[in-house]
């Protein structure tokens, strides 16, 4: 399979990718193996003047490095992914099983944790889809043992997301869940995951079609989550099942007509 490169992107997409990766280069912390919060920014419960690092954003940066594939990029991406994997929760039976720390400085979830305060379940999908794309596009550039660990982490994330059972109305997370489940079904031979993925994706599509032309949940969600458009393209290209491929393409088409105010679809 041909690996995605910057040269394959159209001019606007390539320009955005190059600028974004170059900007993130400035905040790479080699010692920590993580992307750090810019000096003029404050993240969640961070403190002014205290260095903080971001786990999810490091996963995104690693994917960008593999896309750029310049001198030293593969080694840095390997380091970044290796670090990200160490911050996943392995806690079967807990609601945060399979998700990740938001930043390494935060404390582990206490007994009877409160969602959003003590952990973020969405990191399963944000980081999980990033790791899936890493394997789909660049597995051949990574050490075999790192690939093995990514597979373990993705299985863990999928188990956690299945237990969570995110509704189709939670649009951006549901879209990533559908993609992640189908990826896992194909890679790990889990047909039940594929059936769940297809059911969720088609329910999302039905909700979008039902709300076409209204200020309903579909329009507002897409207006708030423009970044999901790139995920839809990735999902459409990678979908094996025709129903999912057609559904993701339809969602991509519908979402392209949403303005920032959510006034129309």
Alpha-carbon torsion (60, 232, 171, 134), positive or negative? negative
Rounded CA separation 209/212 (Å)? 5
Q: What is the rounded distance in angstroms from the CA atom of residue 158 to the CA atom of residue 108?
A: 21
Q: What is the pLDDT of residue 263?
A: 29
Distances in Å between the alpha carbon of 36 and those of 40, 65, 87, 121, 147? 11, 16, 15, 21, 24
pTM of the model: 0.83
**Quick one: pLDDT at residue 233?**
54
Dist. CA 137–CA 128, nearest whole Å:
14
pLDDT tens for each residue of the chain, 265 residues long: 568 899 999 999 999 999 999 999 999 999 999 999 887 665 655 555 567 899 999 999 999 999 999 999 999 999 999 999 999 999 999 999 999 999 998 999 999 999 999 999 999 999 999 999 999 999 999 999 999 999 999 999 999 999 999 999 998 899 999 999 999 999 999 999 999 999 999 998 888 888 764 554 444 554 444 444 454 555 555 555 665 666 556 555 544 443 323 322 2
Q: 102 is written with which tokens?
A: 């938001």
Q: What pLDDT, on a 0 to 100 scale, did the predictor assign at position 4? A: 86
DSSP string, 86-117: HTB---TTSTTTT-B-SSTTSPPP-SS--BTT
CA atoms within 13 A on the CB side of 155: 11
Q: So where are the chain's domains?
A: 1-164, 166-265
The C-alpha atoms of residue 154 and residue 180 are separated, in whole angstroms, by 9
pLDDT at 48 (0 to 100): 55
| Rg (the chain; Cα; Å) | 18
pLDDT at 226: 44
What pLDDT is recorded for position 105? 86
Q: What is the predicted pLDDT for the residue at 113?
A: 97
H/E segment holding residue 53 = strand 53-54
pLDDT of residue 227: 45
How far apart CA 40 and CA 61 sit, in angstroms, is 19
pLDDT at position 264: 28
Nearest CA to 43 out of 54, 35, 32 is that of 54
């Amino acid at each position: 399979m041909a690996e995605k490169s910057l040269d394959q992107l159209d001019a606007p997409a390539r320009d955005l990718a190059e600028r974004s990766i170059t900007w993130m280069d400035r905040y790479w912390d080699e010692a920590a193996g993580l992307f750090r919060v810019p000096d003029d920014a404050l993240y969640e419960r961070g403190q002014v003047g205290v260095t903080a690092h971001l786990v999810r954003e490091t996963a995104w940066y690693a994917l960008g490095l593999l896309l750029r594939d310049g001198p030293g990029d593969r080694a840095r991406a390997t380091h970044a992914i290796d670090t990200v994997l160490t911050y996943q929760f392995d806690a079967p039976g807990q609601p945060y099983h399979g998700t990740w720390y938001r930043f390494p400085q935060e404390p582990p979830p206490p007994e009877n944790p409160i969602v959003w305060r003590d952990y973020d379940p969405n990191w399963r999908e944000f980081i999980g889809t990033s790791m899936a794309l890493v394997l789909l596009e660049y597995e051949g550039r990574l050490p075999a043992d790192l690939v093995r660990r990514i597979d373990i982490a993705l299985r863990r994330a999928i188990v956690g997301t299945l237990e969570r059972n995110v509704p189709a109305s939670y649009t951006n997370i549901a879209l990533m869940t559908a993609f992640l489940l189908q990826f896992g079904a194909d890679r790990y031979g889990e047909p039940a995951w594929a059936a769940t993925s297809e059911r969720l994706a088609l329910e999302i599509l039905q909700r979008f079609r039902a709300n076409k032309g209204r200020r309903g949940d579909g329009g507002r969600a897409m207006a708030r989550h423009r970044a999901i458009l790139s995920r839809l393209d990735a999902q459409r290209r990678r979908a094996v099942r025709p129903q999912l491929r057609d559904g993701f393409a339809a969602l991509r088409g519908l979402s392209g007509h949403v303005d920032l105010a959510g006034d129309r679809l």
